[in-house]
Amino acid sequence: MSTPQLVVHRDKELMAQAAAARLITKIVDAQASTGSASVVLTGGRNGNGVLAALAAAPARDAVDWTRLDLWWGDERFLPEGDPERNITQARQALLDSVPLDPKRVHIMPASDGPYGTDVEAAADAYAEELARAAGPENHGAVPTFDVLMLGVGPDTHVASLFPEHPGVRETERTVVGVHGSPKPPPTRISLTLPAIRSAREVWLLAAGEDKANAVAMALSGAGEVQAPAAGAHGRARTLWLLDTAAAAQLPRSLYPPASA
Ligand SMILES: O=C(O)[C@H](O)[C@@H](O)[C@H](O)[C@H](O)COP(=O)(O)O
């Protein structure tokens, strides 16, 4: 389990721009060494802010967009094209501006798709898609994600794993259906913590004063059931990308020296 590293930026715009630059470099390096890259996107303002910053980044097309696999950490279980779907917002922020290979954009099912309103069947289908993409070295569950990004909710949720809810307690399955989400809409699909923890790097994005309490709680020893963000670790790296407002309640001992 990788110890969390923290980087604190001046404000949420700079955090998004710096995270986008970091992501470009990570993808370019992965593509240079293996010929492709695999990234898991997250919904929400911070997640979409990084995508918008990436779309505007001068080095954007250093990425070979045709050799990038995109997955989602969660999705709102709504009809295709609904403006509240993470894929809809990701398309607007970035995806419609770059030449991705559609076969490598792995969209979580919509509620009017092949599984209808059966969110469990939709979650199982995504788990099967992940397993098909997994290599022998992945023990058959999920592919090796180079970077898995997660926004952090004010209640410390990540993806659609909420404190004390069933999804955060899942230890076997890689994808679950979520009912009664405290954050609307109520029905969602989410990767589980075991799937999240299979990523090489997990980057947690938190900007804004509404996240300060969640950041401090998740980094100060809370358990993953009470604070799901506390359970989000990468195999090689766990990186918290913050702005000063979201870092405001951190104990001094956790504050990165560079920004002291
Ligand atoms: O589908 C979702 O809503 C997201 O995946 C969710 O996990 C989000 O990342 C956090 O709630 C933070 O959202 P903000 O960045 O908008 O605060």
**102-138 per-position pLDDT tens digit:** 999 999 999 999 999 999 999 999 999 999 999 877 6
Cα dihedral 159, 240, 234, 90, rounded to 10, equals 40
- Structure token digits, residue 169: 């307690």
Ligand 1 proximity of 159 Cβ (cutoff 6 Å): yes
Tokens coding 128: 């099967």
Percent of the chain exceeding pLDDT 90 equals: 93
How confident is the model at residue 84, as a pLDDT?
98
pLDDT mean over 248-252: 93
From the CB of residue 83, how many other CB atoms can be counted at a distance below 10 Å? Answer: 8
Q: Is the pLDDT reported for residue 39 higher than 80?
A: yes
SS3 129: helix
Query: Is 146's pLDDT higher than 50?
Result: yes
The answer to which of 27-36, 42-51, 63-72, 245-254 has the lowest mean pLDDT is 245-254
Binned at pLDDT 50, 70 and 90, residue 260 comes out as: very low
- Cβ–ligand 1 contact at 49 (below 6 Å): no
Residue 99: CB atoms within 10 Å: 9
pLDDT of residue 252: 86
Q: Round to whole Å and give the CA distance between 57 and 258.
A: 25
Cα–Cα dist 71/104, whole Å: 8
Please, which residues have CB within 8 angstroms of residue 96's CB and are 6 or more apart in sequence? none
- 154 and 183 in contact (C-beta within 8 Å)? no
pTM: 0.97
Q: Whose CA is nearest to atom 9 of ligand 1?
A: 151
Average pLDDT over the chain, rounded to whole?
A: 96
Three-state SS for 178? strand
The atom number, within ligand 1, closest to the CA of 48 reads: 15
Q: Residue 178's beta-bridge partner residues? A: 188
Mean per-residue pLDDT for 231-248?
Answer: 98
CB-ligand 1 contact for 10 (6 Å cutoff) = no
167 touches 51 (CB < 8 A)? no
pLDDT digits (tens, 9 = 90+) for 201-214: 999 999 999 999 99
Comparing CA positions, the residue from 1, 7, 38 lying closest to residue 259 is 7
Taking residues 65-77, report their average pLDDT. 98
45 CB less than 6 Å from ligand 1?
yes
Helix ranges (H only) for 44-165 are: 44-56, 86-93, 119-133
Ligand 1 centroid vs 232 CA: distance in angstroms?
Answer: 14
pLDDT greater at residue 144 or residue 258: 144
CA distance 12 to 129: 34
- Please identify, by atom number, the ligand 1 atom nearest to the C-alpha of residue 47: 15
- Give yes or no for residue 140 having a pLDDT over 80: no
CB atoms within 10 A of CB 42: 25
**Per-residue model confidence as pLDDT tens digits over 42-57:** 999 999 999 999 999 9
**152 alpha carbon – ligand 1 mean position (Å):** 6
